[in-house]
Amino acid sequence: MTDFIPTPALPAPDIVRSAYMELVVTDLAKSRAFYVDVLGLHVTEEDENTIYLRSLEEFIHHNLVLRKGPVAAVAAAAFRVKSPAEVDAAEAYYKELGCRTERRRDGFVKGIGDAVRVEDPLGFPYEFFYETTHVERLTRRYELYSAGELVRLDHFNQVTPDVPKGRKYLEDLGFRVSEDIKDSDGVTYAAWMHRKQTVHDTALTGGDGPRMHHLAFATHEKANIIAICDKMGALRISDRIERGPGRHGVSNAFYLYILDPDDHRIEIYTQDYYTGDPDNPIVTWDVHDNQRRDWWGNPVVPSWYTEASLVLDLDGKPQAVVKRTESSEMAVTVGADGFSYTREPGEERGFKMGSQL
């Protein structure tokens, strides 16, 4: 039975949205070429060890920090809170949970003021901040637009062994569930959680963790995603396309998954839906419905289920990875022959091509 994380007596911080991620990369020049020259993210500032990047519509200092280091990993998944007082609330909340916290009044990175970082109960490095340097929002700078323009940071996706445990903890933190994946035996394989009024700001994927599955940027339309594929093909780096393009059943979004030079996974994402009503219904998918991950088209490749980025503790050391003990989504939906399928009781149907073809 899941050992749930206790609910603190103190109020949770009022989180606005997922705001930025700090990635440790092993070759800063190669990472700059990928994120700036290929994906078109905009440089706010940079030095010999760090690059601060933002998407087109952003007005805070950055959505992505690339920091040179010895081991590729995620140093922080950062959420913006509603006011300076909510940073105090975050610190108190996690201290009550017994989590390790670190507060820096001048921020952990450039462009961010008073912030607290925590090693959360699932082992992830979260940051909460309000103060930030405002920069030019490039929305009307049409001369800067590229065919595959990334306009917003949309969400994170976290890999954790116990999804119900993580779901209850994030609901206590103020997140709401938009969609999930379960089976008839009551196993939960994934859950999508939001603060802003879209499908998610973060998601929990069942697997060995804590690890970070991906960071996602949004485009205006699916043609922008096709343009990124064309560009990667022209640059002869289409082998860095891991999965897609395609349309998800969960979230309804059109998507593409690509790998950066350190194998950090980036999703390019568009056309999900509004979730802001207080009675927004939760959509539950059967794990054996092969339209849950792909509404049409390609199967989920095995690496998408098995590979993810390490996450760091507050000392900058990789967190130990714990095995998932419940059934894995890949094991129950991909046969030994590499084909994925849906299943009704006593039968299999709806085959998709497997990774061996």
**Are the CB atoms for 112 and 161 separated by under 8 Å?**
no
pLDDT for the residue numbered 353: 47
Which structure tokens are listed for 193?
């959680």
Query: Which pLDDT score is estimated for 338?
Result: 54
Amino acid at 89: A
Q: What is the mean pLDDT of the chain?
A: 93
Q: 75 to each of 15, 22, 87, 327, 332, how far by Cα in Å?
A: 19, 5, 19, 29, 32
Locus of tokens 């064309």: 230
DSSP of 185-234: T--EEEEEEESSSSS-SEEEEESSBSEEEEEEEE-SSHHHHHHHHHHHHH
- How far apart CA 192 and CA 255 sit, in angstroms, is 16
Secondary structure, 3-state, 88-132: HHHHHHHHHCCCCEEEECCCCCCCECCEEEEECCCCCEEEEECCE
Kindly report, residue by residue over 51-78, the tens digit of the pLDDT.
999 999 999 999 999 999 999 999 999 9
Q: What is the pLDDT of residue 354?
A: 46
pLDDT of residue 333: 80
Cα separation, 64 vs 47, in Å, equals: 14
pLDDT value of position 332? 84
Relative to beta strand 283-286, strand 176-182 is parallel
pLDDT, tens only, 132-152: 999 999 999 999 999 999 999
Residue ranges of the chain with pLDDT lower than 50? 1, 345, 351, 353-357
Alpha carbons 161 and 164: distance in angstroms, whole number: 9
Residue 139's SS3 state is coil
For residue 190, the model assigns a pLDDT of: 98
- The predicted pLDDT at position 330 comes to 87
According to DSSP, residue 240 is labeled: G
The pLDDT of residue 89: 98
Q: What are phi and psi of 293, to 5 degrees?
A: -95, -35
Q: What is the reported pTM?
A: 0.94
